[in-house]
Structure 1
Amino acid sequence: MTAVGVRLDHLAIAQQYAAAPEQWPVAPRFSPVERWYHRLAVTDDYEVWLLTWLPGQGTEIHDHGGSAGAFHVFQGTLVEDTVANSRGGARVVSRELGEGAGRRFGEHHVHRMTNLSTQPAVSVHVYGPALTTMTKYRLGPEGLEILTVERAGSEW
């Protein structure tokens, strides 16, 4: 258990897992039908996921149900679009993250990730606490509109 007042460095944890692929319980797999993912570890304070992305694969706009976290690009290149509601609609900021790049995010982070390159990508994600829900959104005229709320154990 984490000591009171101590904040975990989710990006450092993702980088540690990315630095030791020989210790992953599974090798990355790729599916042309949907993104592949596998939980590598779970503790009282966080969980670690391995995700693969073929060219063109991506997520919908989503949050992490109040969990903070980070991701590290192990292989390839991913584009992250962060989304924030502002007056008059939503503001979208895109950034490309190549192999070795990573990013931390807070509890209220809303984004989508996509492999816009021509090569497969692999990433390691850490969420703390472990994910219990994820809300999916769409961009509407007034900003973010909720589409669905998915629950751990039933939708993933």
Structure 2
Amino acid sequence: MTISTTTSRGSVLAATAAELAERSAEWLPRVRLDPQGRWYERLHRYDDQEIWLISWLPGQTTGLHDHGGSRGAFAVALGSLEERDLSGVREITPGRARAFGPEYVHEVRNGSFAPAVSVHVYSPPLTTMNRYDLVGDRLVRLATEEAAQW
């Protein structure tokens, strides 16, 4: 397993995501594929973190967003995903996890020709997410989503 992270707390979140991603028997029967958009389900919610399972058909994307001040990490369980942030684009494949801090803005998408599944961990649990557009080299906030909207 390869973990890319910037903090020790991020390492813990990335390890949690990667470990659960490897235990497909625990979540595979729950996965759904939805041609209308990414399918997602919260698997666990604790006082200090929450864990989500997300499936992606080819071309499905999050758009640029942050996590409302929460730290996070995600690991690809099946398939592959592309992550874009302000520094560039990277491919995330099974066995790899990405961790990020509370101010991180990125976009995740399935740029392949096959479905993908990923596990996401956030601490503290998400309360808001901000959506962005990139205008030139500047992020412009488009909207704020509240947790009740998910």
Q: Structure 2 length normalisation: TM-score? A: 0.89
Q: 1:44 aligns with which of 27, 42, 47?
A: 47
Q: 2:118 aligns with which of 123, 132, 136?
A: 123
Deviations 1:19-42 (A, max 9, x none): 222223952110001100000001
Partner of 1:10: 13
Gaps of 5+ in 1: 1-5, 84-91
Aligned pairs for 1:3-152 within 5 A: 7=9, 9-24=12-27, 27-83=30-86, 92-141=87-136, 143-152=138-147
Percent of aligned pairs with the same amino acid: 46
Give the superposed CA RMSD: 1.6
Gaps of 5+ in 2: 1-7
* Letter in structure 1 aligned against 2:57: L
Structure 1 counterpart SS, 2:120: strand
Deviations 1:56-91 (A, max 9, x none): 1111100000000100000001000012xxxxxxxx
- Which structure features the higher share of strand residues? 1
Aligned-partner Cα distance in 1 for 2:135–2:31:
35
Contact 2:18–2:96, Cα closer than 8 Å, also in 1: no
Contact 2:68–2:126, Cα closer than 8 Å, also in 1: yes
Structure 2 counterpart SS, 1:61: coil
Higher Rg: 1
Aligned-partner Cα distance in 2 for 1:7–1:71:
13
